Amino acid sequence: MADADKLVKQTHALDRDCTTLSRHVLQQLQSFSAEAQDLSALMGRIALAAKLVSRRLSRAGLVEGVLGFTGDVNVQGESVKRMDVYANEVFISVFKQSGLVCRLASEEMDKPYYIPENCPIGRYTLLYDPIDGSSNIDSNLNIGSIFSIRQQEGTDENGEAKDLLQHGRKQLAAGYILYGPSTMLVYSIGNGVHSFTLDPSLGEFILSTENIQIPEHGSIYSVNEGNFWQWDESIRDYIRYVHRHEGYTARYGGALVGDFHRILFEGGVFLYPGTLKNPDGKLRLLYETAPLAFLVEQAGGRASTGTEEILDVVPEKLHTRTPVIIGSKEDVELVESFIQDRTREQTESLTAPS
Ligand code: P6P
């Protein structure tokens, strides 16, 4: 390669290494306004939280008191892992110092955590799942953190946060961190989906892929088939279909972020339908499925409950759960078609002359 070409390649590599997350946000917004600076600073704090969690995970097997359970049960009724508590505290500490976030709502906390001094109107609310997929931690498999940022809108007459119980199209930013062979941060502020990879030698998240677009269709279907006995007949119909037709392959890691990340890059569909035990499904809207729905729509995909778009769902309470079908447009529509067929049959049987 000629020297000139080497120099161009080297300059390009340096430019990319200088594209940190905070810088990328400002580039996305083409602005240095107060709001742009706020979002840039918020994403910088997300990156700091991710680095702190990633650092602890990378040494989990060597340090006492990182793995295992605390012995407590959280508001979800789930046994709490030590890493759940640590990561939850990391986000609180990182954002308390930011001066930007008025309240934090977490899967691990019954009520939002308020930072009164940060609550003048115009500040922000952070919703997050500090560690998603914590059942994978002790077996050193991939886990994630999921986050969503909304504009703080004050409180209603009952003192409840007005911005929390609103549909997902109110999100200003959303994304996740995947703690895998490398630590990746994937985010959107409504201007496409972009991924950053943590370079431990720099201690920085460096841009790896811009404007990610999910394939229109993919071969992967990702679902816990151990719940087959608990599903509605329509979902069973879908599973029977993919079992009997060529071109489908099952992938399920038991951690939403890793399963979603695979779908985002390779196409296909992830689903967590309602079950007999959890008719509304297991996954929580505000800090799990709505942030991922925001991303997948930005990447050209879809996210549905089976009957409505995830981003249109207005939660009744902070920890509202919804069924979720998320991924490539064609594959989400295929699952929905089985739901519509069953609904039509039920309607016809009810209206048929006896
Ligand atoms: P199941 C992890 O506990 C989680 O919340 C998601 O990360 C994951 O997709 C789901 O639950 C797995 O649930 O019932 O298949 O073990």
Per residue in 235-255, pLDDT (tens digit) is 999 999 999 999 999 999 999
Which pLDDT tens digit goes with each residue over 269-296? 999 999 999 999 999 999 999 999 999 9
Q: Which of 299, 291, 44, 302 is closest to 192 using CA atoms?
A: 299
Output the CA 242–ligand 1 centroid distance in Å. 22
Lowest mean pLDDT among 48-52, 95-99, 121-125, 324-328: 121-125
What number of residues does the chain have? 354
Mutate to test the pocket of ligand 1, among 107, 142, 222, 272 (most ligand atoms within 8 A of CB): 272
Question: Which residue's CA lies nearest to atom 4 of ligand 1?
Answer: 133
> What is the value of pTM for the model shown?
0.94
Spatial CB neighbours of 186, under 8 Å, sequence gap ≥ 6: 175, 176, 177, 178, 193, 194, 195, 196, 212, 261, 264, 295
If you average pLDDT over residues 129-140, what whole number do you get? 91
pLDDT band at 12 (very low <50, low <70, confident <90, very high): confident
Collapsing DSSP states into helix, strand and coil, what is residue 354?
A: coil
Q: Is 254 in the pocket of ligand 1 (CB under 6 A)?
A: yes
Each residue of 152-177: pLDDT tens digit?
887 777 777 777 899 999 999 999 99
Q: Which two tokens stand for residue 312?
A: 């249109």
* Ligand 1 centroid to residue 16 C-alpha, Å: 35
Does residue 339 carry a pLDDT above 70? yes
Ligand 1 atom index nearest CA of 132: 7
* Bridge-based pairing state of the strands 143-151 and 124-132: antiparallel
Q: Domains in the chain, start-ordered, CATH in brackets?
A: 2-209 (3.30.540.10), 220-348 (3.40.190.80)
Q: How confident is the model at residue 219 (pLDDT cuts 50, 70, 90)?
A: very high
| Mean pLDDT of the residues in the chain | 93
pLDDT digits (tens, 9 = 90+) for 67-79: 888 888 888 788 8
Mean pLDDT of 326-334: 98
Model pLDDT, residue 72:
87
Buried b (16+ CB within 10 A) or exposed e, 3-38: eeeeeeeeeeeeeeeebbbbebbbebbeeeeeebbb
Distance of CA 331 to the CA centre of its chain: 19
